[in-house]
Amino acid sequence: MHWQWQRFWAVRKGDWKLIGHENKTTFLGNLGDPEPEKKNHLGEQSELARRLQALHDTWLKDVEREFDESHPNSQKMY
């Protein structure tokens, strides 16, 4: 599942949710934790964060390509 609002975005796969701003990841949460948005798992789950970032990057390219085709005079998302 992907979500983007202005320059903020998130991608979720299973219990994991990666949150970012523009091209930078800022938070990796485990939705299975009792307080899922309290502990940032970026440091200990760096490979998972890279995989989720890659999913977001692919999604963003697809969305931008589709948007560019239907709105040729618009600006890029970021």
Pick the CATH number of 2-70 from 3.40.30.10, 3.30.1120.10, 3.30.420.10, 3.30.360.10: 3.30.1120.10
> Residue 30 burial (CB < 10 Å; 0-12/13-18/19+)?
middle
15-66 residue pLDDT tens: 999 999 988 999 999 999 999 989 999 999 999 999 999 999 988 888 766 6
pTM: 0.77
The single residue listed with the structure tokens 């890659």 is 54
Paired tokens of 27 = 């938070």
